[in-house]
Structure 1
């Protein structure tokens, strides 16, 4: 018995389903990215107001920079214009940022900026406790609480680079004690953990749901 050839209608339907699925995936990805950015911005703004006095987020970015200047002055140091600008760029970013990205932004403002300029500023901000270095990805993020000398745990979102500081002194001390008991001398006692933040989880779930819904609609046609 001969096998029937697919009809033109069947071919068109198959092509339509394929196109619909492709479009659904593309739209879902775009929606997810937009949702992630919007939610992340909202989350960052919300968390900024939840910190106690002494944090790097004030009523405005200018207030945060003024606080940093006062903090440096109390330490007998100076937040020079270059140092201030690098700190401002990190505040603008709101997430872990690599040095070369900061250099690119600096060159848009000061075309003659050289790598040592940015690295020296970062070294100062690190020594002053104004920023954290995320060793695992070689990036930098603003320290949100100047009252805490040792933050202990930094949680980094692998998707968007958002960093959350956790203050768990007892947990940190217990872990450090166990490491020292094992015979290690720590070079740094900050702990870096990687995960997916709430905003990115929501975006991922939305993308999956949108793709599934679109595929179901296409299959029903």
Structure 2
């Protein structure tokens, strides 16, 4: 709920769901359905006016803003629709920067190797020295995924990551994200594309701030975030 000077506006209402660990979980819905607000809740950027968000058995709402910022740096990697790579840095340097900003616990001498490993996971190691302007849109998004992996977070949130790509490249990027579940990653994937959503392990469909359908959900005991 958001409070303005004249009224209270409910953005999300009666939202209850669980995300299977090591799954690819899609959040689908039209513009204005509450997807962005839900993402902000899941990452601790916004706080719910009521209810709880539980991550690995811990409630996010009780953490301070500083604690939430540290938590995000360690537990969540974010992939954006428009890549948001630094244009003056190479692909490798963009991933290295994520380690710097995330205050990586890895020894600094191992940062380059870690960055190259992340680029290799998304099939971009051979382009490590290229600037974003020298890469296609799909290649830039792969670098953005590598950047999100840099600090080895258990959860990757992909916010419309294929919305700026053609269909063929969108499916290629989705395939890469799907493969990351083999490395114990949980992928939360926001999309308008019903075809991509249908390929997920589980998911939900939002409309007007409410869940109107839960898709493919199959949880086993203890397997949720």
TM-score by length of 1: 0.27
Q: Answer 1 or 2: higher relative contact order, Cα 8 Å, separation at least 6.
A: 2
Give the number of the structure whose alpha-carbon radius of gyration is greater: 1
What's the TM-score once normalised by structure 2's chain length?
Answer: 0.27
Comparing both structures, which one devotes a greater share of its residues to strand?
A: 2
